[in-house]
Amino acid sequence: MSGPHVGRSRPRVEDRPLLTGVGTFVGDLAPPAAAHAVFLRSPLAHAHLTGVDTTAACALSGVRAIFTADDLSLPPLHPPIENPAAFSPPRPLLAQHVVRFVGEPVAVVVADDPYVAEDALDLIELDLDPLPPVLDPVAACESDSPALHPATSNVLYDARFEGGDLDGAFATAAVTIERTFRHPRLAAVPMEGRGAVAQPERDGVALWSSTQAPHRLATIVAELLGVAAHQVRVRCPDVGGGFGQKAHVYPEEVLTAWLALHLRHPVRWLEDRVENLLAASHARDQQVRVRVAADGDGRLLAIDADVICDQGAYGVFPHGHVLEALGTPSMIPGPYRLPAYRYRSRSVATNKSPEGAYRGVGLPVSTFVHERVMDVLAEELAIDRAEIRRRNLIGAAELPHTTLTSQRYDSGDYAAALDRALAAAGYDGFAERQAVARDDGRLRGLGICCYVEYTGINSRVFKGRGMVGIAGSDGAHITLTPDGRAVVWTTLPGIGQGSDTTFGQLVADRLGLQPDDVEIARPDTGVGGLHGTGTFASRSAVSGGGALDRAGAELESRLKADAADRLEIDAGDLRLNGGRVEVVGSPGHGLTIAELVAAAEPDRYRVSASFDPPALAYPYATHVCEVEVDPGTGHVAVVHYAIVEDCGTVINPQIVEGQVHGATAQGIGGALLEEMVYTDDGQLITASLMDYLVRTAGDIPPFDVSHLAIPAPDSPTGAKGVGEGGTLAPPAALANAVGDALGREFNALPLRPEDVRAAIC
| pLDDT one-digit tens code per residue, 263-316 | 999 999 999 999 999 999 999 999 999 999 999 999 999 999 999 999 999 999
Mean pLDDT of 481-497: 97
Co-location of 374 and 308 in the same domain: yes
Query: Is 212 contained in some domain?
Result: yes
Mean residue pLDDT of the chain comes to 97
Mean pLDDT of 55-68: 98
Confidence class for position 249, pLDDT limits 50, 70, 90: very high
Co-location of 597 and 738 in the same domain: no
| Contact between 674 and 184 (Cβ < 8 Å) | yes
Instruction: Identify any residues that bridge with 605 across adjacent strands, giving them in sequence order.
Output: none
Co-location of 251 and 294 in the same domain: no
Mean pLDDT of 656-668: 97
Residue 748: which domain range? Answer: 282-457+615-760
Co-location of 604 and 634 in the same domain: no
Whole-number pLDDT of residue 5: 78
The CA distance from 232 to 223, in Å, is 10
| Contact between 191 and 240 (Cβ < 8 Å) | yes
Whole-number pLDDT of residue 366: 98
Whole-number pLDDT of residue 9: 83
Co-location of 629 and 739 in the same domain: yes
Query: Is 323 contained in some domain?
Result: yes
Co-location of 578 and 635 in the same domain: no
Co-location of 505 and 650 in the same domain: no
Whole-number pLDDT of residue 567: 95
Query: Is 298 contained in some domain?
Result: yes
The CA distance from 714 to 720, in Å, is 9
Contacts by residues 581-584 (CB-CB < 8 Å, ≥ 24 positions apart): 581/512
Query: Is 370 contained in some domain?
Result: yes
Whole-number pLDDT of residue 433: 97
Co-location of 313 and 434 in the same domain: yes
Q: Of the candidates 279, 309, 329, which is a domain's last residue?
A: 279
Co-location of 566 and 704 in the same domain: no
List the CATH number of the domain containing 578. 3.30.365.10
The CA distance from 95 to 39, in Å, is 11
Total tally of structural domains belonging to the chain: 3
CA dihedral 453, 456, 457, 458 (to 10 degrees): -150
List the CATH number of the domain containing 127. 3.90.1170.50
Q: Of the candidates 279, 303, 324, which is a domain's last residue?
A: 279
Co-location of 517 and 580 in the same domain: yes
Query: Is 57 contained in some domain?
Result: yes
The CA distance from 687 to 678, in Å, is 10
Query: Is 156 contained in some domain?
Result: no
Co-location of 626 and 606 in the same domain: no
Using alpha carbons only, how large is the chain's radius of gyration in Å? 27
Query: Is 510 contained in some domain?
Result: yes
Amino acid at 531: H
Confidence class for position 7, pLDDT limits 50, 70, 90: confident
Confidence class for position 569, pLDDT limits 50, 70, 90: very high
Query: Is 374 contained in some domain?
Result: yes
**Ramachandran angles phi, psi of 330, nearest 5°:** -65, -25
Mean pLDDT of 717-737: 97
Q: Is the pLDDT of residue 1 over 70?
A: no
Whole-number pLDDT of residue 629: 97
Q: Measuring CA to CA, how many Å separate 433 from each of 423, 459, 559, 624, 735?
A: 15, 50, 63, 15, 19
Co-location of 310 and 450 in the same domain: yes
Q: Of the candidates 251, 279, 307, which is a domain's last residue?
A: 279
What count of other Cβ atoms lies within 10 Å of the Cβ of residue 150? Answer: 7
Whole-number pLDDT of residue 2: 66
Could you check whether the bond before residue 493 is cis, i.e. omega within 30 degrees of 0? no
